[in-house]
Amino acid sequence: MLLPAAFALIAAGQPRGYPRSYADTIAAARREGTVVVYSTTDRHEATAALNAFRKRYPFLRVDYRELESPTLYNRVIAESRARKPTGDLIWSSAMDLQIKLVNDGYAQAYASPEKPYLPNWAIWKNEAWGVTAEPVVIAYNKRLVPAKDVPRTHSAFERLLRNKAAFYRGRVSTYDPRLSGFGYLQLTQDYHASRDIMSLVGALGAARVRLHTSSGPLLADIESGRSLFAYNTLGSYALELATRNPDIGVIMPSDYTLVVSRIALISREARQPNAAKLLLDFLLSPEGQRHLARAYMAPSREDVVPLAGSKPPAAAARPVKLGPALLANLDRIRRQRFLANWQAALDAE
């Protein structure tokens, strides 16, 4: 039983409006002392939020491990099956892989006190939580792309690549869906949004598109001028780069702009589950969401104002909803068929 002085110390760090029983969660997290995070989010982008979390709970050490999405997914499964320590909080932009971890029993349920303030699309089974709502964009080098060439829709981008094939050949980049979990997610969601997307894939193939497995090299390509366009890149990274480099432009296509989320879950084999609950709740709280928003990771909460320009107009926004529909494209045979069609379209011209 907690002594009154100890209870008062813990209660001082308890968020306003949380149930009194949350003091027990804080006390248990204090005993755990550490939270291990497996994440696809660049450490630099998450630093402000993590620093604020540590300020609120100074007794917790955050062991933050940055991984590419397929590595993260496979590591959680391998460590869980071996009953070895794994990440406590698993945070990834590969939404479909996160939902598969939940579906296959690698997450544990937790009813966050922040649940009432989140949109329905951002919660699944109290096990998967949409922390952000970020656009998938086309970034480009404003210094090297003629102003008249800047496309505003997917079809306009395809026409540009076909009409000026020689100029853009070898100067367009995107993710490799065979190796990038996020790349595969956005390609399948493009297909759901528009069955004409394989025609655009053909135009990318004709342009000898450069393929990458993560956002860093993708954006480095356009910053250096090796590429003029980065297609389907994560908006937060592109927008943050644009604030540092005035040569970088960002397009949210007006026909549709996919809106994706970095999904957090508490792993089944978490050794520090209470510390993971504190971090999850903080990331979903107004304070946590504001810190993420300042890094252009637009909030999933509707009561936190995003930075100007970090969300598409409502008419164009196409949110990718959490849930079992994301599992369909991960079926082994379906995935093989989809990637085969993508490769055929890429090689067709």
**What pLDDT is recorded for position 335?**
95
Are 278 and 57 contacting, i.e. CB atoms less than 8 angstroms apart? yes
Q: Name residue 264's beta-bridge partners.
A: 91, 129
CA 209 from centroid of its chain's CA atoms? 23
**What pLDDT is recorded for position 12?**
53
Are 209 and 346 contacting, i.e. CB atoms less than 8 angstroms apart? yes
Low-confidence ranges of the chain (pLDDT < 50): 2-10
Are 284 and 34 contacting, i.e. CB atoms less than 8 angstroms apart? no
**What pLDDT is recorded for position 13?**
67
Listed residue (260, 288, 245) closest to 46, CA to CA = 288
| CA distances in angstroms from 25 to 72, 270, 277, 278, 281, listed in the order given | 27, 15, 8, 8, 11
Reported pTM: 0.87
What letter does residue 266 receive in the DSSP assignment?
A: E
DSSP codes joined into one string, 145-172? S-GGG--SSHHHHHHHHHHTHHHHTT-E
**What pLDDT is recorded for position 349?**
66
